[in-house]
Amino acid sequence: MATTTCTLTLSSNMLSSPINISASTTITKADLTTGLELIEMGRGTIAEADGSKTAEFGLPTALGNDKAAKCFFVNKATDPTFYIDIDIHDTNIGRLYAGDWMFIPWSMTDVAAELDLEETTGLAQRTFSGNTTQVVLVDVSAESVTASGANKVYIRNTGTDKTQHFKVTLADTTDDTEEIGRLYGGDWMLFPWLATDANEDIMVQPSSSDKMTIEYAVFHQ
């Protein structure tokens, strides 16, 4: 069986009590304990950016949607003023500045969907039980984040059950939602968050009415 293990170590002394996060997951197929067996790799170079969409990345549709696909992107630039906007459809997730990277699940529920720090809110947990309703996890209007800044969001499903997941979605400026992906037991994600509009909240939805806990933190300017 193919095995891919992803590990994150995150340390911060921004608060009076230091934050130390260590998360590791062996990525598996949706609702299973079998390891993922396919990988798509590549490198793209943008010679001159003019503010328009200059590169698009899409997984082969044969891979299917609602699976446990994972995406990793890194901005290899060294100039701190160079950034890459990351979009799903017309929803801008955030920006990867020089050296920044992101690791997220990707549901790819629509074949047309292409995946184009001084403070922290602190590490928090939220437990769900008895319902499977989609709720706001991070309310942009309640956070003192800088719009279009180098904000980062960390989210982890603290459970161990690979049959249960949290669906992670991002609202756009019209309050419609775009599904990013699903975090199964032990899965985590780290991604940029542009937060340019008061409606652009980060939402989660548990797949089960059983007790499920999610861990998250927002790092922002």
Domain spans in the chain, listed from the N-terminal domain onward: 5-34+65-220
pLDDT tens for 12-47 read 887 777 888 888 877 777 666 676 665 555 555 555
Could you give the CA distance from residue 105 to residue 118 in angstroms, rounded to a whole number? Answer: 26
pTM, rounded to two decimals: 0.62
CATH number assigned to the domain covering 5-34+65-220:
2.60.120.10
Mean pLDDT lowest among 30-34, 77-81, 126-130: 30-34
Where are the strands (E) in the chain, listed by range?
5-12, 19-26, 70-74, 83-88, 91-97, 101-105, 119-120, 124-128, 135-138, 151-157, 165-171, 177-184, 188-193, 202-206, 212-220
- Give the pLDDT confidence score for residue 41 in this predicted structure: 52
